[in-house]
Amino acid sequence: HRNSRASEPAPHYLHRPVSDRQVRLSVVVPTRNEAENIPTLLSRLGGAVAALGAEIIFVDDSDDDTVDVLARHATDAPVTVRLLHRPPSARAGGLSGAVLHGARHARGEWVMVMDADLQHPPESAGRLADIAMRHDVDVVIGTRYAGEGSTEGLGGAAREATSSWATRLAKSLFPRRLTTISDPMSGLFAFRRAAVDLDGMNPIGFKVLLELVVRHPGARVAEVAYEMAHRHAGRSKASAREGLTFLRHLGRLRSRRLVGQMRERPAAARDRLPELIRMVAFGLVGLTGLVVNTAALWFFYEPANLHHLLGAALATQLSTAWNFVLVDLLIYRRTRQGSRAGRASRFFLLNNLLLLLLRLPVLQALVWAGVGILTSNALTLAALFLVRFLINDRVIYSP
């Protein structure tokens, strides 16, 4: 929940040998029931990142004694260790939520995310961070699918196949963004904090990195290969349910991406009917308007006995109103802009200009030449169809 972020608790310090000002790298480690892995992780990771000016932020959703083990071993580490334990009522977003929570409280210029079960060898992670911090990039991904990387430690052919198909699926859904990214599902990655809008991210499930790269199309990405190791102790939290969450996450990312793309174009341009349809519809509306106009002119000219030019002018006001309602409602309903009164006055202005400058003179000429008044009137209306369509379409209702 976005509003709760301002007041969300910050991880507290278990050990602080590196002052906040010296911290250049924040390693965020999400943990859920990883007590047996903590001692080894702390000693190996501490050694691997000590030279980089690091803090390790644990964001813990455990029900076991991970917190106690952390508190006991943190003081031996050569780096700052911080911990946030989220009670069962505050475990929003699971793994992803934990990672983002940690990242929002990071002090370093760089944030690295890694697992606690030693599948991401701390020495490889340290190397990745070191490379990241020495290059002018925004995101560095630990990849198992390029160079010397391997999925050996995933633990079985089934998991390897799942991982590889999930990767393919993601790449096919985001072909452009993921062309140069070999391992968008990686749980080991680092990013420059200033280059990432954490509040614009809203991942569910395990794939934080996928969310990050899809949401930041401009980010400069590099990859560093690593060999995934076997889980040191304890059990994986991956499940069939996580698999479904992943599919939901993909769907959400896709639709949001489309929403994002659509926002870039004006809504009006997106919703326009095709031009040919607009023109045909305009013509059909014009035909009904022609009937209205002719009937009105007949009325003004015959029973009302007005001068034919005055009759034509009055008839035009009626048919213009008629046309405006239909055009505004049926053809440009989804794309019209501004106020109805504004559109109506432009519509009337256009039709009356055409009336005064073109239709009435031609009408008079035709009458002098002996053509009937109703026929002459209809001819002048029909002749201006294209002009009226173009001015309406390109000016009055331009997107």
Nearer to ligand GDD, 140 or 396 (CB): 140
Give the one entry of ligand GDD, Mn ion, none that residue 107 binds, where binding means its C-beta sits below a cut-off of 5 to 8 angstroms depending on kind. none
Q: Contact between 117 and Mn ion (CB under 5 A)? A: yes
Nearer to ligand GDD, 166 or 315 (CB): 166
Nearer to ligand GDD, 228 or 384 (CB): 228
Q: Which stretch binds Mn ion (CB under 5 A): 10-18, 116-124, 152-160, 336-344?
A: 116-124
Summarize as ranges the residues that interact with ligand GDD (CB under 6 A): 30-32, 34, 59-61, 94-95, 98, 115-117, 119, 163, 185, 187, 206-207, 236-238
CB 48 within 8 A of CB 125: yes
Nearer to ligand GDD, 34 or 393 (CB): 34
Give the one entry of Mn ion, ligand GDD, none that residue 31 binds, where binding means its C-beta sits below a cut-off of 5 to 8 angstroms depending on kind. ligand GDD
Q: Exactly one of 119, 245, 351, 376 binds Mn ion (CB under 5 A); which one?
A: 119
Nearer to ligand GDD, 53 or 126 (CB): 126
CB of 52 to ligand GDD, least distance (A): 21
Nearer to ligand GDD, 30 or 289 (CB): 30
CB of 335 to Mn ion, least distance (A): 51
Give the one entry of Mn ion, ligand GDD, none that residue 41 binds, where binding means its C-beta sits below a cut-off of 5 to 8 angstroms depending on kind. none
Rounded to the nearest 5°, which phi and psi values hold at 384? -95, 5
Q: Which residue is nearest to ligand GDD (CB)?
A: 187
Give the one entry of ligand GDD, Mn ion, none that residue 187 binds, where binding means its C-beta sits below a cut-off of 5 to 8 angstroms depending on kind. ligand GDD
Q: Which stretch binds Mn ion (CB under 5 A): 56-64, 66-74, 113-121, 134-142?
A: 113-121
Measured between alpha carbons, how far is 259 from 207 in angstroms, rounded to an integer? 21
Q: Contact between 293 and Mn ion (CB under 5 A)? A: no
Question: What SS3 string covers the chain?
Answer: CHHHHCCCCCCEEEECCCCHHHCCEEEEEEECCCHHHHHHHHHHHHHHHHHHCEEEEEEECCCCCHHHHHHHHHCCCCCEEEEEECCHHHCCCHHHHHHHHHHHCCCCCEEEECCCCCCCCHHHHHHHHHHHHCCCCCEEEEECCCCCCECHHHCCHHHHHHHHHHHHHHHHHCHHHHCCCCCCCCCCEEEEHHHCCHHHCCCCCCCHHHHHHHHCCCCCEEEEECECCCCCCCCCCCCHHHHHHHHHHHHHHHHHHHHHHHHHCCHHHHHCCCHHHHHHHHHHHHHHHHHHHHHHHHHHHCCCCCCHHHHHHHHHHHHHHHHHHHHHHHHCCCCCCCCHHHHHHHHHHHHHHHHHHHHHHHHHHHHHCCCCHHHHHHHHHHHCHHHHHHHHHHHHCCC
Total of residues contacting Mn ion (CB under 5 A): 2
Nearer to ligand GDD, 56 or 59 (CB): 59
CB of 44 to Mn ion, least distance (A): 16
CB of 107 to Mn ion, least distance (A): 26
Q: Contact between 31 and Mn ion (CB under 5 A)? A: no
List of residues contacting Mn ion (CB under 5 A) = 117, 119
